[in-house]
Structure 1
Amino acid sequence: MALDNLRTLYQQVILEHYNKSRHLGMTDLVHRHQRGHHPSCGNTIELTVQLEALEERIADVQLEGEGCAIAMVSTDFMADAIPGKTIPEALQIVQAFQNMMKGEGDFPREHRQLNVMQGVTQLPVRIKCATLTWHTLKPALEHQSVESADEFVSNEEDD
């Protein structure tokens, strides 16, 4: 496929998910919560995570906030990918996404839809937009209390 065709496909997928996000709002129950902010471009998000009854698996992830299309679409893809996963499995997906955005691999077949975000690597100034939600999800999953989420995390210092 020619580079122009790939770029057009990438743009179409981004716009489709941006216009039809299924993960806006807050989860019914909030077991984990974290705010994220990217000061350079103004993206600000608030993630809520609902865990299943035994708190072994993720049931739902929702987002409130404002951000550019890339930040919001990245959140939509993330919220599609992690329900049903254990917290350690979700953290592995977070790391794989961050590695992909650094050009260090892509996803296995079951998460190949996340590879669409590789197009962002062609726009280095937008990589932090794409990784904000993933950077925000990590502390939400690592901390077992919703009280620690009052402060914003930022990916401004990430490489």
Structure 2
Amino acid sequence: MSLDNLRDLYQQVILERYKKPRNKGTTNPVDRYQKGHNPSCGDTIELTLHLVDDRIQDVKFEGEGCAIAMASADLMAEALKGKTATDALEMVQRFQAMMKGEAEFPQELRKLNVMQGVAQFPVRIKCANLSWHTLKAALELSANAQPAGFVSNE
């Protein structure tokens, strides 16, 4: 696939997920909750997770921000369903490495690779990473702990 075709695909998927997110809302029940904020551009996200036996059953988000931040949250939420918390934390590391051009996701998670296009715009990497930082903070909370305000990705 040519670079122009890849760039078009990247833009198309981001716009589609921004306009019609598939994972917007709040899980029922809410087992983990965390707010995230990107101070450099104002993106905010509220992430909820439903866990059963350390396995993510559902992930939903609410938020306001740019197309990249919201599309990244939507793609992330879809990819996490059925994963263990440990798997999810490994995915956070892989996503952050992908934003640096150091990794990509395997075939079964290839939808996340569309976010690689963000790496061409260094100022937008924080937008793509916001939901992933928020997820990490939510998973690192103990089961009944209250989140400490917003997590910042700066």
TM-score by length of 1: 0.92
TM-superposed deviation, 1:150: 4.1
How far apart, CA to CA, are the structure 2 residues paired with 1:51 and 1:63? Answer: 15
Q: CA deviation at 1:72?
A: 0.3
Q: Per the alignment, in what secondary structure is the counterpart of residue 149 of structure 1?
A: coil
Q: Which amino acid aligns with 1:2?
A: S
Instruction: Provide the identity percentage.
Output: 64
1:39-80 Cα shifts (integer Å, max 9, x gaps): 11000110000012xx32000011111111000000011001
Alignment RMSD: 1.1
Code of the residue aligned with 1:32 in structure 2: it is R
Please name the residue that 2:107 is paired with. 109
Aligned residues: 154
Residues 46 and 61 of structure 2 are in contact (CA less than 8 Å); yes or no, is this contact kept in structure 1? yes
Instruction: Tell me the amino acid that sits aligned with residue 96 of structure 1.
Output: R
TM-superposed CA distance for 1:13, in Å, is: 1.0
Structure 1 runs (4+) deviating above 3 angstroms are none
TM superposition score normalised by structure 2: 0.95
Structure 1 spans left out of the alignment, 5+ residues: none
5+ long unaligned stretches in structure 2: none
- Tell me whether 1:33 sits opposite 2:33 in the alignment: yes
Q: 1 CA distance for matches of 2:55 and 2:143? A: 16
- Does residue 76 (structure 1) correspond to residue 52 (structure 2)? The answer is no
**Mapping 1:7-156, distance limit 5 Å:** 7-52=7-52, 55-156=53-154
Partner SS state of residue 103, structure 2:
coil
